[in-house]
Amino acid sequence: MAVMSYAEAAKQAIAEAMRADPRVWCVGEDLGRGGVFKQYVGLVEEFGPARVSDAPISEAAIMGAAFGAALVGTRPIVEMRFADFALCATDELVNQIAKARYMFGGQSRAPMVIRKPMGMWRSSAAQHSQSLEAWYAHIPGLVVVCPSTPQDNYAMMKAAIACDDPVVYLEHKNIWALEGEVDPDAPGAFGQARIRRQGGDVTIVSWSDCANRAAAAAAMLAEDGIDAEVIDLISLWPWDKAAVLGSVARTGRLLVAHEAVAVGGFGAEVVATVAERAAHRLKVPPRRIGSPRGLIAYAPNLEDQMRVTAEAIAAAARQMMEPAPA
């Protein structure tokens, strides 16, 4: 196994797919200079500007052109630069790409990977820091992926490129440099969560960079004698209901943590599913922790008030372990 950064792992997966299949190509802003986060460095030199294509600053045009290319048989990787900017192409994604297979009776498909760097990055402010994964999980026809580690970013990128449906691929900007071992033979699978840590006292469910914080919170809880199980969903649609329900059946406690705004966040879907299917297993009411419904500030001290930290996750879990008042 090789040690790679989160950014390098996805780039490696893309390069391997492009070498194996001439239909795979990349399009987006600033790709010719390696991408705004350097996640495409070296690809234009190997594959040329026809397959690593610089595009004008028009997200709608990028998404629409890639959709047309997908319909005629290519497999585009669409770089949206920031998840926030991708909102300019929401109509193309939600009303056209997500619905193409259904509207054409299965005769046409849109095999696309739509990369959307997401999440809080130091002092990026309200228009460059959002976590909007729940929006896309709500849309029928879209696969939604939120990898948290280099291994997952490699394996899930390979799976996304091979998928015949459009995949909204959300990578957290704060962990481009995160390093870890990558096993190229370990497959990625939609709807298959990973148990980051086994435990019997409380189930903590998360994804994206917040899953890394959940793992750190579990280490803190272990020092207090609390045995937390951490489930990294990896993909939000489909999501691994069986893994979550099985864990809750053992622990009797559920805490969902995500960086996105708590109101309307995907954590509510997880909590509702457990409440509907496993309420009799719960020792205490399920909880979720997310960002408050506010705009993300530029000032670091205010930005930090919006963050879901490992300390906050651990504190919420400790509260769930406290005996109920008489």
> Known catalytic residues?
128
CA 56 to each of CA 93, 139, 250, 294: distance values in angstroms, whole numbers, following the listed order: 18, 27, 52, 32
Residue 262: CB atoms within 10 A of its CB come to: 17
Please answer whether residues 86 and 92 qualify as being in contact, where contact means their C-beta atoms are separated by less than 8 angstroms.
no
Q: What type of residue is 247?
A: S
DSSP-based three-state secondary structure for 254: strand
State the alpha helices, DSSP H only, in 105-176.
Answer: 133-137, 150-162
- CA dist., res. 261 & res. 249, Å (int): 27
Give the alpha-carbon dihedral of 268, 93, 176, 120, to 10 degrees: -50
Q: How far apart are CA 228 and CA 202, in angstroms?
A: 5
Measuring CA to CA, how many Å separate 137 from each of 168, 222, 266, 296, 326?
Answer: 9, 33, 8, 22, 40
- Amino acid identity, position 76: P
Q: Give the C-alpha separation, 70 to 143, whole Å.
A: 16
Instruction: Report which residue type is found at 198.
Output: Q
Q: Position of tokens 């408050």?
A: 292
